[in-house]
Each structure stands twice: as structure tokens, then as C-alpha cells.
């Protein structure tokens, strides 16, 4: 009984007295630890623009994966045979599509139908007569810079792959195609 009395607090309201039952020490330790953790978590992930997000981590892993894929391919040359051959590689076309969505879609549309860039799905081209020309336009740009040059931001292998991906877009049906520009050219060599 005496121990209960010891825990009674010393004030009394209308004959009502309370126990003083503090939360245990271990509980306080965990509570403070979570608050300290939350502080560092916030500073690291929310207040720091350089911290990794799941997206940067995804991009990093994708990069590692692409390097592996490209490493296995060796040095690609922009020949018609190579460009056509790559179009039938499902996995590489997937990689090409990822690159296209990231770097080309804002002008050429997600499906290549054209926005302010030209439609890449029809048979008419402004700067292209052959498969190699796709590589040249991607490398050097066109339309006095309206189509940027990618030689510094994409590796040679990536540019060959993009030429191949663009070649594969020809004949597909984009959702809202831009009117053809340039002149119709003969079909790609079948190889
Ligand atoms: C800033 C907008 C923009 C971006 C980004 C862009 N393009 Fe273009 N692209 C254009 C324009 C505009 C043209 C037409 C140039 C002209 O008028 O001669 C063009 C033309 C082309 C052509 C030649 C088509 C033809 O009819 O001659 C190809 C191939 C091409 N782009 C591929 C790509 C690829 C692949 C990427 C991504 C790596 C890309 N473009 C990114 C704007 C862009």
C-alpha cells in the first residue's frame, strides 16, 4: 500500500488524487531516437538537393545495365547492316525506346509522331535518304540547330542505337501524327 501512496502526486482536486505513472525510460529512449532519426532523415533526403532518390537510383542502375549491354555489343558502326540488325533485337529496342523517351520525345512525341520536331513514323524525311543519314542527323543535328547535335551527349553506340530505333519507328502508327515533311524516300533495305 505504501508504494502506491509513494506514486500519488501531491495535489488534490475535489478529493480526487492522481497517480504519477511516468512512461518508462526505455520508451523515452525510443521516442528521442526516432525524433533524432527523423531530423537527420529530413535533412538528408528532403533538405538536400543532391541526395539520392529512387529515380536517381533507377537511372544509375539502368546506366550500369546499359553499359553491360553495350559492352557486350562492342563498338557499333553506323552501317545499314548494323542499323537494320539492331531493329530486330527486342531488348535493345527497349533500351532505345527508353533513351528516346528521355531525350527525343519532347520534340518528336512519345511515339515519334512529331510535336515541334518532325514526324519520324512516315515515309517522308527532310534530311534523310538512307539509314546512315539517320545516324548523321542524330550526330550532327539539322535544321540549323532546331534538331540538336547529340555527338557530345550520346556515345557512338548510343547514337547508332538511336538511328536504329528511329528506323524502327518508320511505318508505325503514332496517336496524333504530324503532317509529312520533306520528300518520300524508298523503304529501308531489308538486309
Ligand atoms: C529540341 C527539339 C528536338 C529534339 C530534342 C530532338 N529533335 Fe530530332 N528534329 C527536330 C527538328 C525540328 C527536326 C527537323 C529539322 C529540319 O527541319 O531539318 C528534327 C529532325 C530529326 C531527324 C531527321 C528527320 C527528317 O525528316 O529529316 C531525325 C532522324 C531526328 N530528328 C531524330 C532525333 C532523335 C533520335 C532525337 C533524340 C536523341 C531527337 N531527334 C531529338 C527537333 C528535335
Residuewise pLDDT in 10s, the chain (191 residues): 445 456 788 888 999 988 888 889 999 999 999 999 999 999 988 888 878 788 888 878 887 887 788 778 889 999 999 999 999 999 899 989 999 999 999 999 999 999 999 999 999 999 999 999 999 999 999 999 999 999 999 989 999 999 999 999 999 999 999 999 999 999 999 76
Instruction: Judge contact between 82 and 76, C-beta under 8 A.
Output: yes
Whose alpha carbon is nearest atom 23 of ligand 1? 127
| CB count in 10 Å sphere of residue 25 | 8
> Is the beta carbon of 147 within 6 A of some atom in ligand 1?
yes
Ligand 1 pocket check: which of 123, 133, 147 to mutate, most ligand atoms within 8 Å of Cβ? Answer: 147
> What are the grid coordinates assigned to 32, written together?
528521442
Ligand 1 center to 90 CA (angstroms)? 23
Ligand 1 center to 54 CA (angstroms)? 30
What length does the chain have? 191
CA distances from 119 to 78, 102, 127, 146, 188 (A): 22, 17, 12, 14, 17
Ligand 1 center to 177 CA (angstroms)? 15
Amino acid at each position: 500500500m505504501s508504494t502506491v501512496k509513494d506514486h500519488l502526486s501531491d495535489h488534490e482536486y475535489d478529493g480526487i488524487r492522481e497517480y504519477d505513472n511516468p512512461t518508462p525510460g526505455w520508451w523515452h529512449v525510443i521516442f528521442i531516437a526516432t525524433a533524432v532519426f527523423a531530423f537527420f532523415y529530413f535533412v538528408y533526403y528532403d533538405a538536400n538537393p543532391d541526395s539520392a532518390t529512387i529515380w536517381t537510383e533507377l537511372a544509375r542502375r539502368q546506366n550500369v545495365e546499359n553499359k553491360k549491354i553495350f559492352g557486350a555489343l562492342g563498338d557499333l558502326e553506323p552501317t545499314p547492316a548494323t542499323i537494320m540488325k539492331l531493329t530486330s533485337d527486342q531488348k535493345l529496342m527497349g533500351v532505345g525506346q527508353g533513351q528516346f523517351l528521355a531525350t527525343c520525345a519532347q520534340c518528336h512525341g512519345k511515339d515519334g509522331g512529331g510535336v515541334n520536331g518532325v514526324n519520324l513514323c512516315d515515309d517522308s524525311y527532310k534530311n534523310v535518304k538512307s539509314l546512315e543519314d539517320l545516324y548523321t542527323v542524330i550526330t550532327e543535328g539539322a535544321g540549323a540547330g532546331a534538331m540538336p547535335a547529340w555527338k557530345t551527349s550520346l556515345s557512338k553506340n548510343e547514337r547508332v542505337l538511336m538511328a536504329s530505333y528511329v528506323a524502327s519507328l518508320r511505318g508505325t502508327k503514332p496517336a496524333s501524327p504530324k503532317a509529312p515533311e520533306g520528300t518520300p524516300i524508298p523503304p529501308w533495305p531489308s538486309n
